[in-house]
Amino acid sequence: MCNTDANPILIDFKENSMRPVELRSDTMTRPTPAMRKAMAEAEVGDDVFGEDPTVNRLEAMAAERVGKAAALFVPSGTMANLVSQMVHCGRGDEMILGSLAHSFYYEQGGSAAVACIHPRTVPNQPDGKLPLDELEAAIRDDNIHFPRTRLIALENTHNLCGGAPLDPAYLSAVGDIARRHRIKLHIDGARLFNAAAAFGVEARQLAAEADSISFCLSKGLAAPVGSVVCGSAEFIHTARRARKVLGGGMRQAGVLAAAGIVALNEMVDRLIEDHANAHRLAVGLTGIPGIELDPERYVTNIVYFDVIKPGLSATELVAALQRDGVRLLAAGPRTLRAVTHYEVTDRDIDHALESVNRLMK
Ligand code: TLP
């Protein structure tokens, strides 16, 4: 569990009683003191020319961590997904993804709008999976009327499915389907290291079946900017072209990559603390009248819960909590989302639970 007094990463934030409990997203994490130091001291060059040694180091580390030949540093998780989709699919090709995929829901339909890819959704189950029979049935035959299925895209952990992690056996079954039909598998691993922590496995075990996999440095790993896409050398060569046409070619990006290197070195092993805090929050919320959730569903750092009280909407509860110094997101008319991360302490969880308890009376 994360105790502020014992946590050297947090001490520099000079915690005081006015500090809000920031549970809206793990994207809110600020760079650690070690990251700021590494950024200030980073050796840099022009990355569009492949000459930034710090970016090159981050890319090599990232590729190694997920067991792929090469990697590409990109500004965001959204660009990581779009670049990957553009490499795997041509104009008019079809991508199969979950009905609740971030890429389908929250990325402005960029795959269609920018890359001319036809998205085909299969309903996500509450555990983030796509049923294997429905997934396979969605793959198109060779028929002049149909778009050509080129890609399956999974999300691990699954954001809208409560941070559900996809296990190695499921990934292997999807990998089999993709291989049998000669189509590619991309994994949006924005929170890949949370999934690995949940199963106690290495990230590369969750990446083994993927032709491409992305992960975010700027979420639970606390870097200020950036994601990494990983795959074969050939995939990354083409992804680098796609990044450039999207305007994502950065120059002295080593100042950002330096924080990403600290993120990979120092922030991965502690993610289990965030999971423990999220679980404690979920269990604590379960006992509050008017709050509904199944605490056993939440095994990583995301918790969704419903407010069932006449006259109180999620937006109203969020506003009341905000006045109490507790920040959450309204994720639906009755649904709230809380995400834990390294700036959320034990005491913050107590504070959040006390506030919800009081406001629900
Ligand atoms: N998720 C953000 C918001 O966009 C909702 C959050 O606060 O959870 N894949 C997944 C699974 C994500 O959760 C996100 C961001 C992205 C991709 C996009 O990453 P960015 O924001 O870096 O473009």
Question: Hey, what amino acid is at 178?
Answer: A
3-state secondary structure of 3: coil
190: CA distance to ligand 1 center in Å? 7
218: CA distance to ligand 1 center in Å? 10
What is the spatial distance between Cα 170 and Cα 127, in angstroms, rounded to a whole number? 11
Q: Tell me which of 22, 73, 78 to substitute to probe ligand 1's pocket, judged by most ligand atoms within 8 Å of the beta carbon.
A: 78
Q: Tell me which of 25, 73, 85, 102 to substitute to probe ligand 1's pocket, judged by most ligand atoms within 8 Å of the beta carbon.
A: 102
What is the spatial distance between Cα 176 and Cα 146, in angstroms, rounded to a whole number? 23
DSSP per residue, 321-353:
HHHTTEE-EE-SSSEEEEE--TT--HHHHHHHH
What is the spatial distance between Cα 286 and Cα 100, in angstroms, rounded to a whole number? 25
141: CA distance to ligand 1 center in Å? 33
Between the alpha carbon of residue 8 and those of residues 3, 32, 34, the distances in Å are 10, 10, 10
* Residue 190 CB–ligand 1 contact under 6 Å: yes
Tokens 């600290």 belong to: 262
Residue 19, pLDDT score = 86
Asked if pLDDT for residue 295 goes beyond 70, the answer is: yes
Q: Tell me which of 219, 301, 302 to substitute to probe ligand 1's pocket, judged by most ligand atoms within 8 Å of the beta carbon.
A: 219
* Residue 159 CB–ligand 1 contact under 6 Å: yes
C-alpha closest to that of 97 among 114, 117, 69, 67? 117
Q: Whose CA is nearest to atom 6 of ligand 1?
A: 25
pLDDT tens across 1-11, in order? Answer: 344 444 555 54
Q: Whose CA is nearest to atom 18 of ligand 1?
A: 77
Atom of ligand 1 minimally distant from the CA of 302: 8
Q: Whose CA is nearest to atom 8 of ligand 1?
A: 25
pLDDT tens across 233-277, in order? Answer: 999 999 999 999 999 999 999 999 999 999 999 999 999 999 999
How do 70-74 and 94-98 pair as beta strands?
unpaired
Structure tokens given for 21: 């409990």
Asked if pLDDT for residue 143 goes beyond 70, the answer is: yes
Structure tokens given for 53: 């040694």
pLDDT tens across 47-57, in order? Answer: 999 999 999 99
What is the spatial distance between Cα 164 and Cα 161, in angstroms, rounded to a whole number? 6
* Residue 106 CB–ligand 1 contact under 6 Å: yes
Atom of ligand 1 minimally distant from the CA of 78: 23
Q: Supply the mean pLDDT for the chain.
A: 95
Q: Tell me which of 216, 243, 274 to substitute to probe ligand 1's pocket, judged by most ligand atoms within 8 Å of the beta carbon.
A: 216
pTM: 0.95
Degrees to nearest 5, angle at CA 345 with 282 and 294: 5
Q: Tell me which of 84, 159, 300 to substitute to probe ligand 1's pocket, judged by most ligand atoms within 8 Å of the beta carbon.
A: 159
Asked if pLDDT for residue 26 goes beyond 80, the answer is: yes
Tokens 């009341």 belong to: 320
* Residue 185 CB–ligand 1 contact under 6 Å: no
Atom of ligand 1 minimally distant from the CA of 101: 11
Q: Whose CA is nearest to atom 4 of ligand 1?
A: 106
Mean pLDDT for 172-184 is 98
Quick check: 99 and 138 in contact, CB under 8 A?
no
191: CA distance to ligand 1 center in Å? 9
- Spatial neighbors of 257 by CB under 8 A, at least 6 apart, are 42, 52, 54, 55, 57, 58, 59, 73, 226
How do 335-339 and 302-307 pair as beta strands?
antiparallel
Q: Which of 3-17, 143-157, 230-244, 325-339 has the lowest mean pLDDT?
A: 3-17
* Range list of H helices, 67-153: 77-88, 102-105, 110-113, 132-137
pLDDT tens across 64-121, in order? Answer: 999 999 999 999 999 999 999 999 999 999 999 999 999 999 999 999 999 999 999 9
DSSP per residue, 227-239:
EEEEE-HHHHHHH
Asked if pLDDT for residue 153 goes beyond 60, the answer is: yes
Residue 17, pLDDT score = 55
Residue 2, pLDDT score = 42
338: CA distance to ligand 1 center in Å? 14
Cα-only R_g, the chain: 21
